């Protein structure tokens, strides 16, 4: 097996999760690089580094960062951690990173990213994943590590060479302290994470609530349960083997709300910073697939429309989380 310093790994997107992963790997002497699309931000991050703060410690690393993918050349692994709506733009830029043996891994929120990746790479060179790591971007290059959790990865199409590559990546991540595993069928895991996002993200953004506060209001709790029910019903129609009853799906989301009670969801962070959201890849994806399969999804449709409308108009009030 190659020494970890001989591998070439680039993380695309210096947001909260991208910076956290790059920092964790570089702290363990695994030279993971970062690709940004803003040259001026690259220069600032090169000077200041990436700082990670947690309840117990604070530390800074200085990974290799560039806005010029051609300077890195073909990689063993390219990990996409851009916002879902930025996937198409990212795909246009990462061509120089892709060689015949490159494996692309997406750890993005939502569902359907692989269809965009098919434009530049064969399905057998794509892996999907979900992570329970928690990260908040406090400011540029400063990340709060909100909590650790497992990362689950799986190939879109199984083949021996890609399996070896993905297993090697998983070993690298585990050795760096980023708990990871490979599964044969990733889609049930994608759908479980999707159901969690369906029940949390849009509601926290619309209501200006942290995750745990959703459970304290009967109206938000009712909306959450209705949205989850629609997504769970759709998963059955699509033949996804969740191994979850409807009650267990509700309990799963309830548990996430409790264990991440003080967290601001990524969509709430988008609202606070007035950035585009990932609504079309979460609740919007449920509505779109429901329409294609004849599964009614009225609550997810309303949540999607409300988030889209507020995003277009500009969220009118500054959210003060402490009020709630």
User: How does pLDDT run across 73-118, given as a tens digit for each residue?
Assistant: 999 999 999 988 888 899 999 999 999 999 999 999 899 888 888 8
Point out the domain boundary residue: 149, 182, 215: 182
Residue 196 has pLDDT above 70, yes or no: yes
CA distances from residue 57 to 36, 51, 53, 144, 178 in whole angstroms, order as listed = 27, 11, 6, 10, 17
pLDDT above 90 for 203: yes
- Within this chain, do residues 29 and 164 fall inside the same structural domain, yes or no? yes
pLDDT bracket for residue 1 (50, 70, 90): very low
Task: Choose among 155, 145, 152, 192: nearest CA to 174.
Answer: 152
How much is the average pLDDT of 157-176?
Answer: 95
Query: What would the mean pLDDT of 311-320 be, rounded to a whole number?
Result: 75
Better-predicted residue by pLDDT, 83 or 217:
217
Query: What is the C-alpha end-to-end distance of the chain, expressed in Å?
Result: 52
Out of 182, 200, 235, pick the residue that ends a domain.
Answer: 182
The pTM of the full predicted model, rounded to 2 decimals, is 0.90
Number of structural domains, the chain?
2
Any domain includes 123? yes
- Span 20-76, pLDDT tens digits: 999 999 999 998 999 999 999 999 999 999 999 988 899 999 999 999 999 999 999
pLDDT at residue 257 tops 90: yes
Query: Of the residues 182, 198, 219, which one is the last residue of a structural domain?
Result: 182
Residues 272/140, Cβ–Cβ less than 8 Å = no
Q: Is the pLDDT of residue 261 over 90?
A: no
- pLDDT at residue 319 in the model: 56
- CATH number of residue 221's parent domain: 1.10.1040.10
Looking at the fold, whether 161 and 215 belong to one and the same domain comes out as no
CATH number at residue 89: 3.40.50.720
Report the C-alpha gap between 290 and 21 in whole angstroms.
34
Length of the chain counted residue by residue? 324
- One domain for residues 176 and 260: no
Q: Is 176 in the same domain as 191?
A: no
Residue of 193, 190, 192, 210 lying closest to 267 (CA atoms): 210
Asked if residue 22 and residue 146 are part of one domain, the reply reads: yes
Task: Say if residue 186's pLDDT is above 80.
Answer: yes
Please indicate, yes or no, if residue 97 is contained in any of the structural domains: yes
CA 149 from centroid of its chain's CA atoms: 13
**Do 178 and 192 lie in a common domain?**
no
CA distance 72 to 186: 29
Residue 222 is assigned to a structural domain of this protein = yes
pLDDT of 202 strictly over 90: yes
Whether residue 228 sits in one domain with residue 269 = yes
Full residue range of the structural domain in which residue 62 is found:
4-182
Q: Could you report the per-residue pLDDT of 120-133, keeping only the tens digit for each?
A: 889 999 999 999 88
Q: Name residue, tokens 């609530």.
A: 209
Q: Which two tokens stand for residue 235?
A: 């998963």
């Amino acid at each position: 097996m190659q020494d970890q310093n001989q591998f070439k790994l680039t993380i695309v997107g210096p947001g909260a999760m991208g910076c956290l992963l790059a920092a964790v790997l570089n702290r363990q002497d695994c030279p993971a690089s970062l690709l940004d699309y803003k040259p001026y931000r690259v220069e600032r991050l090169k000077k200041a580094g990436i700082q990670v703060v947690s309840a117990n410690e604070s530390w800074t690393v200085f990974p290799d960062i560039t806005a010029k993918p051609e300077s890195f050349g073909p990689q063993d692994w390219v990990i996409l951690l851009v916002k879902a709506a930025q996937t198409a733009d990212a795909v246009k830029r990462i061509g120089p990173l892709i060689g015949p043996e490159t494996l692309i891994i997406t750890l993005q929120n939502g569902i359907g990213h692989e269809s965009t990746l098919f434009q530049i790479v064969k399905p057998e060179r794509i892996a999907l994943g979900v992570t329970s790591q928690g990260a908040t971007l406090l400011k540029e290059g400063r990340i709060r590590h909100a909590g650790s959790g497992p990362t689950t990865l799986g190939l879109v199409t199984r083949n021996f060479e890609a399996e070896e590559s993905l297993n090697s990546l998983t070993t690298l991540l585990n050795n760096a302290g980023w708990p990871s595993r490979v599964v044969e069928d990733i889609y049930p895991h994608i759908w479980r994470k999707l159901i969690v996002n369906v029940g949390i993200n849009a509601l926290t953004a619309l209501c200006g609530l942290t995750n745990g506060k959703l459970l304290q209001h009967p109206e938000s709790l009712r909306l959450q349960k209705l949205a989850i029910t629609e997504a769970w019903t759709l998963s059955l129609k699509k033949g996804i083997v969740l191994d979850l009853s409807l009650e267990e799906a509700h309990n799963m989301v309830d548990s996430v709300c409790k264990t991440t009670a003080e967290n601001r969801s990524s969509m709430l962070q988008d609202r606070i910073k007035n950035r585009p959201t990932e609504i079309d890849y979460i609740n919007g994806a449920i509505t779109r697939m429901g329409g294609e399969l004849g599964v009614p999804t009225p609550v997810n449709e309303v949540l999607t429309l409300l988030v889209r409308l507020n995003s277009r108009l500009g969220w009118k009030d500054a959210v003060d989380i402490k009020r709630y």
